[in-house]
Protein backbone atom coordinates (compact mmCIF):
# COMPACT_ATOMS: atom_id res chain seq x y z
CA UNK A 1 0.00 0.00 0.00
CA UNK A 2 1.14 3.47 -0.94
CA UNK A 3 2.76 5.66 1.67
CA UNK A 4 1.44 9.21 1.48
CA UNK A 5 2.55 12.47 3.03
CA UNK A 6 -0.01 15.25 2.77
CA UNK A 7 1.45 18.75 2.58
CA UNK A 8 -1.43 21.06 3.38
CA UNK A 9 -2.89 24.44 4.41
CA UNK A 10 -6.26 23.42 5.88
CA UNK A 11 -8.52 24.79 4.34
CA UNK A 12 -12.01 23.32 3.83
CA UNK A 13 -11.16 21.30 0.72
CA UNK A 14 -7.91 20.27 2.44
CA UNK A 15 -10.00 18.95 5.35
CA UNK A 16 -12.13 16.91 2.95
CA UNK A 17 -8.99 15.57 1.25
CA UNK A 18 -7.45 14.58 4.59
CA UNK A 19 -10.59 12.73 5.69
CA UNK A 20 -10.92 11.01 2.30
CA UNK A 21 -7.28 9.94 2.64
CA UNK A 22 -7.89 8.49 6.10
CA UNK A 23 -10.81 6.46 4.70
CA UNK A 24 -8.82 5.12 1.73
CA UNK A 25 -7.61 1.54 2.25
CA UNK A 26 -5.26 1.77 -0.75
CA UNK A 27 -2.94 4.19 1.07
CA UNK A 28 -1.26 4.81 4.39
CA UNK A 29 -0.96 8.43 5.52
CA UNK A 30 2.47 8.46 7.18
CA UNK A 31 2.52 12.15 8.00
CA UNK A 32 1.05 15.58 7.47
CA UNK A 33 3.25 18.59 6.77
CA UNK A 34 1.85 22.09 7.01
CA UNK A 35 2.29 25.25 5.01
CA UNK A 36 0.86 28.77 4.81
CA UNK A 37 -1.74 29.43 2.16
CA UNK A 38 -5.38 29.51 3.16
CA UNK A 39 -4.13 30.55 6.62
CA UNK A 40 -0.73 31.24 8.18
CA UNK A 41 1.46 28.24 8.92
CA UNK A 42 0.81 28.26 12.68
CA UNK A 43 -2.93 27.98 12.04
CA UNK A 44 -2.41 25.32 9.36
CA UNK A 45 -0.60 23.26 11.97
CA UNK A 46 -3.33 23.80 14.53
CA UNK A 47 -5.99 22.88 11.98
CA UNK A 48 -4.14 19.73 10.91
CA UNK A 49 -3.83 18.62 14.55
CA UNK A 50 -7.50 19.42 15.10
CA UNK A 51 -8.60 17.36 12.08
CA UNK A 52 -6.53 14.38 13.21
CA UNK A 53 -8.11 14.61 16.67
CA UNK A 54 -11.59 14.65 15.13
CA UNK A 55 -10.60 11.60 13.12
CA UNK A 56 -9.10 9.81 16.12
CA UNK A 57 -5.79 9.57 14.25
CA UNK A 58 -3.38 11.40 16.53
CA UNK A 59 -0.89 8.61 15.78
CA UNK A 60 -0.10 10.42 12.49
CA UNK A 61 2.77 12.90 12.92
CA UNK A 62 2.33 16.54 11.95
CA UNK A 63 5.46 18.46 10.96
CA UNK A 64 5.25 22.23 10.75
CA UNK A 65 6.41 23.86 7.55
CA UNK A 66 7.92 27.12 6.47
CA UNK A 67 6.51 30.44 7.61
CA UNK A 68 8.05 32.32 4.71
CA UNK A 69 8.05 32.10 0.93
CA UNK A 70 11.07 31.37 -1.24
CA UNK A 71 9.88 34.08 -3.62
CA UNK A 72 11.31 37.35 -2.39
CA UNK A 73 9.10 40.25 -1.40
CA UNK A 74 5.90 38.23 -1.01
CA UNK A 75 3.36 39.36 1.53
CA UNK A 76 1.42 36.39 2.86
CA UNK A 77 -2.30 36.74 2.42
CA UNK A 78 -4.75 34.34 3.97
CA UNK A 79 -7.94 33.37 2.17
CA UNK A 80 -10.47 34.00 4.94
CA UNK A 81 -13.21 34.86 2.44
CA UNK A 82 -12.91 31.36 0.92
CA UNK A 83 -12.37 29.14 3.97
CA UNK A 84 -13.39 31.27 6.99
CA UNK A 85 -10.95 33.45 8.95
CA UNK A 86 -9.22 30.53 10.63
CA UNK A 87 -9.39 28.18 7.68
CA UNK A 88 -12.03 25.71 8.80
CA UNK A 89 -15.30 27.52 8.32
CA UNK A 90 -16.19 29.86 11.14
CA UNK A 91 -16.26 27.26 13.88
CA UNK A 92 -14.67 27.90 17.25
CA UNK A 93 -11.86 25.42 17.46
CA UNK A 94 -10.49 24.72 20.92
CA UNK A 95 -6.71 24.28 21.02
CA UNK A 96 -5.72 20.73 20.07
CA UNK A 97 -3.99 18.59 22.69
CA UNK A 98 -1.36 17.32 20.29
CA UNK A 99 1.76 19.11 19.14
CA UNK A 100 3.75 19.03 15.95
CA UNK A 101 6.88 16.87 15.96
CA UNK A 102 10.33 18.43 16.43
CA UNK A 103 11.35 18.03 12.80
CA UNK A 104 10.36 20.70 10.32
CA UNK A 105 8.20 19.71 7.37
CA UNK A 106 11.20 19.84 5.06
CA UNK A 107 13.33 17.69 7.38
CA UNK A 108 10.50 15.16 7.64
CA UNK A 109 10.03 15.05 3.86
CA UNK A 110 13.74 14.52 3.26
CA UNK A 111 14.02 11.86 5.95
CA UNK A 112 11.00 9.83 4.83
CA UNK A 113 11.99 9.98 1.15
CA UNK A 114 15.45 8.67 1.97
CA UNK A 115 14.09 6.00 4.32
CA UNK A 116 11.71 4.69 1.63
CA UNK A 117 13.29 5.58 -1.71
CA UNK A 118 10.75 5.65 -4.53
CA UNK A 119 7.95 4.63 -2.19
CA UNK A 120 6.52 7.92 -0.92
CA UNK A 121 3.88 9.96 -2.67
CA UNK A 122 3.71 13.56 -1.53
CA UNK A 123 0.29 15.07 -2.10
CA UNK A 124 0.84 18.83 -2.14
CA UNK A 125 -2.35 20.75 -1.37
CA UNK A 126 -0.88 24.18 -0.64
CA UNK A 127 1.95 26.40 -1.86
CA UNK A 128 5.03 24.34 -2.77
CA UNK A 129 7.53 25.96 -0.38
CA UNK A 130 8.31 22.94 1.85
CA UNK A 131 8.86 20.68 -1.13
CA UNK A 132 11.03 23.22 -2.98
CA UNK A 133 13.13 23.57 0.18
CA UNK A 134 13.55 19.79 0.33
CA UNK A 135 14.71 19.84 -3.29
CA UNK A 136 17.18 22.63 -2.54
CA UNK A 137 18.50 21.12 0.70
CA UNK A 138 18.87 17.51 -0.42
CA UNK A 139 20.22 16.91 -3.92
CA UNK A 140 18.85 13.34 -3.73
CA UNK A 141 15.30 14.29 -2.79
CA UNK A 142 13.93 14.62 -6.33
CA UNK A 143 14.98 11.02 -6.99
CA UNK A 144 14.14 9.56 -3.60
CA UNK A 145 10.60 10.86 -3.57
CA UNK A 146 8.30 8.53 -5.48
CA UNK A 147 5.81 11.01 -6.87
CA UNK A 148 4.64 14.51 -6.06
CA UNK A 149 0.98 15.08 -6.88
CA UNK A 150 0.43 18.83 -6.92
CA UNK A 151 -2.92 20.54 -6.59
CA UNK A 152 -1.92 23.64 -8.44
CA UNK A 153 -1.80 25.63 -11.60
CA UNK A 154 -4.31 26.61 -14.23
CA UNK A 155 -3.29 25.08 -17.54
CA UNK A 156 -4.68 27.08 -20.45
CA UNK A 157 -7.56 28.35 -18.31
CA UNK A 158 -7.94 31.38 -16.05
CA UNK A 159 -6.69 31.32 -12.48
CA UNK A 160 -8.76 31.77 -9.34
CA UNK A 161 -6.86 34.50 -7.46
CA UNK A 162 -6.72 36.55 -10.65
CA UNK A 163 -7.04 35.78 -14.37
CA UNK A 164 -3.44 34.52 -14.49
CA UNK A 165 -2.85 32.51 -11.35
CA UNK A 166 -4.15 29.65 -9.24
CA UNK A 167 -3.86 30.25 -5.48
CA UNK A 168 -1.27 27.63 -4.47
CA UNK A 169 1.12 28.61 -7.24
CA UNK A 170 0.48 32.34 -6.78
CA UNK A 171 1.45 32.27 -3.10
CA UNK A 172 5.00 31.07 -3.81
CA UNK A 173 5.64 31.00 -7.56
CA UNK A 174 9.42 30.53 -7.26
CA UNK A 175 8.87 27.44 -5.10
CA UNK A 176 6.48 26.08 -7.73
CA UNK A 177 8.98 26.69 -10.54
CA UNK A 178 11.66 24.84 -8.53
CA UNK A 179 9.37 21.83 -8.05
CA UNK A 180 8.19 21.70 -11.68
CA UNK A 181 11.74 21.87 -13.07
CA UNK A 182 13.39 19.60 -10.47
CA UNK A 183 13.31 16.32 -12.37
CA UNK A 184 11.03 14.75 -9.77
CA UNK A 185 8.06 12.68 -10.94
CA UNK A 186 5.40 15.40 -10.68
CA UNK A 187 1.72 15.14 -11.57
CA UNK A 188 0.00 18.52 -11.64
CA UNK A 189 -3.75 18.67 -11.14
CA UNK A 190 -4.85 22.18 -12.03
CA UNK A 191 -8.04 24.22 -12.26
CA UNK A 192 -8.65 22.93 -15.80
CA UNK A 193 -9.38 19.65 -13.99
CA UNK A 194 -10.84 20.65 -10.64
CA UNK A 195 -13.36 23.13 -12.07
CA UNK A 196 -15.08 20.04 -13.49
CA UNK A 197 -15.36 18.42 -10.08
CA UNK A 198 -18.35 20.05 -8.42
CA UNK A 199 -19.95 18.97 -5.18
CA UNK A 200 -23.59 20.05 -5.36
CA UNK A 201 -26.01 21.35 -2.76
CA UNK A 202 -27.82 18.02 -2.87
CA UNK A 203 -24.54 16.19 -2.19
CA UNK A 204 -24.10 18.41 0.83
CA UNK A 205 -27.67 17.63 1.89
CA UNK A 206 -26.80 13.94 1.77
CA UNK A 207 -23.74 14.52 3.93
CA UNK A 208 -25.86 16.39 6.47
CA UNK A 209 -28.24 13.39 6.76
CA UNK A 210 -25.55 10.73 6.70
CA UNK A 211 -24.22 8.91 9.75
CA UNK A 212 -20.83 8.55 8.09
CA UNK A 213 -17.80 9.23 10.23
CA UNK A 214 -17.01 12.69 8.83
CA UNK A 215 -20.20 13.56 6.96
CA UNK A 216 -21.95 15.87 9.44
CA UNK A 217 -18.76 17.66 10.42
CA UNK A 218 -17.97 18.35 6.77
CA UNK A 219 -21.50 19.39 5.84
CA UNK A 220 -21.26 22.19 8.45
CA UNK A 221 -17.75 23.14 7.39
CA UNK A 222 -18.95 23.49 3.83
CA UNK A 223 -21.30 26.44 4.59
CA UNK A 224 -18.59 29.06 4.22
CA UNK A 225 -17.18 27.37 1.15
CA UNK A 226 -20.62 27.27 -0.50
CA UNK A 227 -21.15 30.97 0.29
CA UNK A 228 -17.84 31.88 -1.32
CA UNK A 229 -18.61 29.90 -4.49
CA UNK A 230 -22.06 31.45 -4.67
CA UNK A 231 -20.54 34.95 -4.54
CA UNK A 232 -17.56 34.25 -6.77
CA UNK A 233 -19.09 31.93 -9.37
CA UNK A 234 -22.88 32.27 -8.86
CA UNK A 235 -23.09 28.51 -8.31
CA UNK A 236 -24.79 26.37 -5.68
CA UNK A 237 -21.89 23.97 -5.71
CA UNK A 238 -18.21 23.93 -4.77
CA UNK A 239 -15.03 22.80 -6.47
CA UNK A 240 -13.34 19.81 -4.86
CA UNK A 241 -9.78 20.90 -5.64
CA UNK A 242 -7.71 19.15 -3.00
CA UNK A 243 -9.78 15.92 -2.81
CA UNK A 244 -9.36 15.51 -6.58
CA UNK A 245 -5.57 15.63 -6.32
CA UNK A 246 -5.64 13.27 -3.35
CA UNK A 247 -7.87 10.80 -5.17
CA UNK A 248 -5.67 11.01 -8.28
CA UNK A 249 -2.80 9.87 -6.05
CA UNK A 250 -4.92 7.06 -4.60
CA UNK A 251 -6.35 5.99 -7.96
CA UNK A 252 -4.24 7.23 -10.91
CA UNK A 253 -6.82 6.05 -13.47
CA UNK A 254 -9.16 8.89 -12.44
CA UNK A 255 -7.14 11.28 -14.60
CA UNK A 256 -5.28 11.17 -17.88
CA UNK A 257 -2.25 13.34 -18.39
CA UNK A 258 0.08 14.79 -20.96
CA UNK A 259 3.83 15.13 -20.43
CA UNK A 260 5.86 18.26 -21.01
CA UNK A 261 7.62 21.19 -19.42
CA UNK A 262 5.90 23.49 -16.92
CA UNK A 263 7.34 26.90 -16.09
CA UNK A 264 5.94 29.43 -13.66
CA UNK A 265 5.96 33.20 -14.04
CA UNK A 266 7.50 34.59 -10.85
CA UNK A 267 7.11 38.35 -11.30
CA UNK A 268 4.75 41.05 -12.47
CA UNK A 269 1.10 41.11 -13.36
CA UNK A 270 1.08 37.45 -14.43
CA UNK A 271 2.93 36.17 -11.35
CA UNK A 272 1.84 32.60 -10.68
CA UNK A 273 0.90 31.85 -14.29
CA UNK A 274 1.67 28.25 -15.22
CA UNK A 275 2.73 27.54 -18.79
CA UNK A 276 2.71 23.97 -20.12
CA UNK A 277 4.64 23.05 -23.27
CA UNK A 278 4.46 19.50 -24.60
CA UNK A 279 5.82 19.77 -28.13
CA UNK A 280 8.81 17.65 -28.98
CA UNK A 281 10.16 20.08 -31.57
CA UNK A 282 13.30 21.93 -30.55
CA UNK A 283 13.59 25.05 -32.62
CA UNK A 284 15.96 27.63 -31.15
CA UNK A 285 13.41 29.78 -29.39
CA UNK A 286 12.20 26.93 -27.21
CA UNK A 287 15.51 25.19 -26.47
CA UNK A 288 15.63 26.62 -22.98
CA UNK A 289 12.14 25.27 -22.27
CA UNK A 290 12.81 21.83 -23.71
CA UNK A 291 16.05 21.48 -21.75
CA UNK A 292 13.99 21.23 -18.57
CA UNK A 293 12.74 17.90 -17.23
CA UNK A 294 9.16 16.99 -18.07
CA UNK A 295 6.27 16.68 -15.67
CA UNK A 296 2.80 15.23 -16.03
CA UNK A 297 -0.14 17.57 -16.34
CA UNK A 298 -3.62 16.16 -15.89
CA UNK A 299 -5.79 16.85 -18.93
CA UNK A 300 -8.98 14.85 -18.29
CA UNK A 301 -10.77 13.64 -15.18
CA UNK A 302 -13.60 11.24 -14.43
CA UNK A 303 -15.42 13.88 -12.39
CA UNK A 304 -18.52 11.82 -11.45
CA UNK A 305 -16.26 9.07 -10.10
CA UNK A 306 -14.22 11.55 -8.05
CA UNK A 307 -17.40 12.93 -6.48
CA UNK A 308 -18.74 9.42 -5.89
CA UNK A 309 -15.54 8.27 -4.18
CA UNK A 310 -15.30 11.44 -2.09
CA UNK A 311 -18.91 11.07 -0.96
CA UNK A 312 -18.55 7.37 -0.15
CA UNK A 313 -15.41 7.87 1.86
Binding at 173: pick from Ca ion, ligand BDR, none (beta carbon under 5-8 Å per type) = none
CA dihedral defined by 255, 198, 238, 308, rounded to 10 degrees?
-80
Strands 198-200 and 2-8: what pairing? unpaired
Q: Which of 5, 6, 12, 14 binds Ca ion (CB under 5 A)?
A: 14
Segment near ligand BDR (CB under 6 A); pick from 28-36, 62-70, 166-174, 176-184? 166-174
CA distance 19 to 21: 5
Quote the least distance from Cβ 52 to ligand BDR, whole Å.
17
The residue with its CB nearest to ligand BDR is: 167
What would you report as the CA-atom Rg of the chain, rounded to the nearest whole angstrom? 18
Binding at 160: pick from ligand BDR, Ca ion, none (beta carbon under 5-8 Å per type) = ligand BDR
Q: Which of 13, 138, 185, 203 binds ligand BDR (CB under 6 A)?
A: 13
Q: Does residue 82 interact with ligand BDR by CB under 6 A?
A: yes
Segment near ligand BDR (CB under 6 A); pick from 10-18, 108-116, 131-139, 253-261? 10-18
Active-site position among 50, 83, 229, 241: 241
- Taking the least distance from each CB to ligand BDR, the nearer of 41 and 294 is 41
Q: How far apart are the first and last CA of the chain?
A: 17
Task: Annotate 73-86 with b (16+ C-beta within 10 A) or e (fewer).
Answer: ebeeebbeebbbeb
Binding at 229: pick from Ca ion, ligand BDR, none (beta carbon under 5-8 Å per type) = none
Give the CA count within 13 Å in the CB-facing half-sphere of 232: 16
Q: Does residue 160 interact with ligand BDR by CB under 6 A?
A: yes
Closest among 64, 3, 18, 36 to 246, alpha carbons compared: 18
- Taking the least distance from each CB to ligand BDR, the nearer of 9 and 107 is 9
Q: Which helix (H) or strand (E) holds 262?
A: strand 255-264
Q: Is 241 a catalytic residue?
A: yes
Q: Which helix (H) or strand (E) holds 297?
A: strand 295-301
Quote the least distance from Cβ 126 to ligand BDR, whole Å.
6
Helices (H), the chain: 12-22, 41-55, 80-83, 105-115, 129-137, 141-144, 167-170, 173-180, 191-194, 201-209, 215-233, 241-250, 287-290, 303-312
Active-site position among 9, 138, 177, 203: 9
Contact (CB, 8 A) for 96 and 53: yes
Q: Does residue 144 interact with ligand BDR by CB under 6 A?
A: no
- Taking the least distance from each CB to Ca ion, the nearer of 221 and 261 is 221
Binding at 185: pick from Ca ion, ligand BDR, none (beta carbon under 5-8 Å per type) = none
What is the contact surface with ligand BDR in residues (CB under 6 A)? 11, 13-14, 38, 79, 82, 125-126, 151, 160, 166-168, 241-242
What is the contact surface with Ca ion in residues (CB under 5 A)? 9, 11, 14, 125-126, 242
**Which positions are annotated as active-site residues?**
9, 241
Amino acid sequence: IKKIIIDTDPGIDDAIAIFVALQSPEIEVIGITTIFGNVHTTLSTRNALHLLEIAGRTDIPVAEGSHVTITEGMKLQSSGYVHGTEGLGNQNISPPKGKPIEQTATEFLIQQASLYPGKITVVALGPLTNIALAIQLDPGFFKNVGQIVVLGGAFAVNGNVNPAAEANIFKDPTAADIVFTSGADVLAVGLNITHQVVLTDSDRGELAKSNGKFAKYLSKLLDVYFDYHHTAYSTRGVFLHDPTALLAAVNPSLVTYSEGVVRVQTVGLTKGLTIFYNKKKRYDEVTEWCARPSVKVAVTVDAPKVIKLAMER
